[in-house]
Structure 1
Amino acid sequence: MSTRMRDAMAQRFKELRHEPTEKRVRVALGGETIVDTTDAVLVWEPRRIVPTYAVPVADLRASTTAGDEVMPGGPGFLHPGIPFSVHSTAGQPLSISGGGQSRPDAGFRPADPELSDYVVLDFDAFDWFEEDERIHAHPRDPYHRVDARASSRRIRIEDGGTLLAETSRAVLVFETNLPVRFYLPREDVVAALTASDQVSYCPYKGEASYWSTDSRSNVVWSYQAPLPDAMPIAGLVAFYDDLLDVTVDGKLRDRPGGAVVRSLRDEFGVS
């Protein structure tokens, strides 16, 4: 009997996972390079959504101070908002010092024989480079895709019956394990938009700028200069349809937020 790929991957979600990479990975602290290696591995702790890098202990050029060993814990999902210091596998935290700076508990040595020679590093605590390019937010998951496709389907976006935008020349973004997002030409937006100071960064698409409507703050975003893989959405705007109504070819879509969370909980069997 055939198995759906998401189901197959979900069976391993509660386990400690790793994947080697051939990329040259460099880590800096206080302007000083503390790691320069071609032997890094991507590591997903159990129930953690995005990976981070583990580097060979032999390639770590920084002082370390070991803390007390920890046992598995944390909430059901370890999403990017959950601090690195929360671990879902047994191991030993390490404080990392270099470049005149110290990062408490920014390292972690899992109590696992496959990773006994590695230190997992907190991505947010350091500056990271893959080859000669700076990377942000978190490393890319090699099993995560972002596909942007031009579409002539009629897209209508409303807020409580008020039309915000309507187009038949959207670009639809299909991203692994996330709801489809609709990116529209700015000239097809009828709502007045006010620029916001908020920004965010996606490792797959780049830096996003935000706008507000008259009734909702930071509900619209755009990638003005996206990463190469996301160039089809350059300058287009997307609406946070978890809060808004989106009609596609006359059919109103379910709002994705709650449904997506429930779906993930059901698939991965965690609360």
Structure 2
Amino acid sequence: MRVPGSDRVVEGSCPADPALAGYVVLDFDGPDAWYEEDEPLHGHPRDPFHRIDVRAGSRHVRVSSGGRLLAESTRPRLVFETLLPARWYLPAEDVTATLVPSDTRTWCAYEGEASHWSAETGDGLVRDAVWSYRDPLPDAAQLRDLLCFSDERVDVAVDGVNRSRPVTPWS
């Protein structure tokens, strides 16, 4: 498929599944950028059936690794995102761990560009254990500068109950 107004070609294929007749699978990495009307999208086009909800909470959140306290808060922001586990975003003042900046940057079509940090635990670094959005997209504006620990890499307890480590693409 030729990109309108360009010499670029984006690869696409038609699925063999008859239930998907009339649909095309696009190479998401092919275009230089994705737009919804005149607004640039980050990472990939948004799924109209996917959403995020940010809610203020007062539950007691304790983050640790190898028994060492990394953060503790009673003022989290919870993020509920379709098909993902709830995430607990904490104010930087509630983080006790020493965080080491990482070169890792990730993009979410719903939240924006995330910066990552590794956490010192006394036993070494937990790589990319924390992320934050310095300039989040409008749907995630309430997350600006809050820190989220990766449940996949550290232990998170909420109201004294240890959460199991989720299995996600980042596990």
Q: 1: distance between equivalents of 2:114 and 2:73?
A: 21
In the other structure, the counterpart of 2:139 is 229
In the other structure, the counterpart of 1:192 is 98
In the other structure, the counterpart of 1:165 is 71
1:122 to 16, 19, 27: 27
Higher relative contact order (CA 8 A, sep 6+): 2
In the other structure, the counterpart of 2:126 is 216
2:39 to 133, 138, 143: 133
One-letter amino acid matched to 2:84: L
> What is the CA distance between 1:140 and its match in structure 2?
1.1
Q: 2: distance between equivalents of 1:124 and 1:173?
A: 27
One-letter amino acid matched to 1:125: G
Aligned ranges for residues 51-66 of structure 1 at < 5 Å? Answer: none
TM-score, structure 2 as length reference? 0.85
> What is the CA distance between 1:235 and its match in structure 2?
0.5
One-letter amino acid matched to 2:101: A
One-letter amino acid matched to 1:160: G
In the other structure, the counterpart of 1:150 is 56
Contact 1:124/1:137 (<8 A) preserved: no
Q: Any idea what SS the aligned residue of 2:134 has?
A: coil
Q: Which has the higher helix share?
A: 1
Aligned ranges for residues 1-271 of structure 1 at < 5 Å? Answer: 34-35=3-4, 98-99=6-7, 101=8, 106-110=11-15, 114-115=21-22, 119-126=24-31, 127-214=33-120, 215-257=125-167
Contact 1:147/1:175 (<8 A) preserved: yes
Q: Any idea what SS the aligned residue of 2:126 has?
A: coil
Q: 1: distance between equivalents of 2:85 and 2:49?
A: 17
Q: 2: distance between equivalents of 1:224 and 1:131?
A: 25
Contact 1:157/1:246 (<8 A) preserved: yes
> What is the CA distance between 1:109 and its match in structure 2?
3.4
Deviation string for 1:91-112 (max 9, x for gaps)? xxxxxxx53x556xx1223465
Q: 2: distance between equivalents of 1:247 and 1:120?
A: 40
Contact 2:35/2:45 (<8 A) preserved: no
Q: 1: distance between equivalents of 2:66 and 2:15?
A: 49
> What is the CA distance between 1:248 and its match in structure 2?
0.8
Q: For the pair shown, which has the larger CA radius of gyration, 1 or 2?
A: 1
- The count of corresponding residues between Structure 1 and Structure 2 is 162
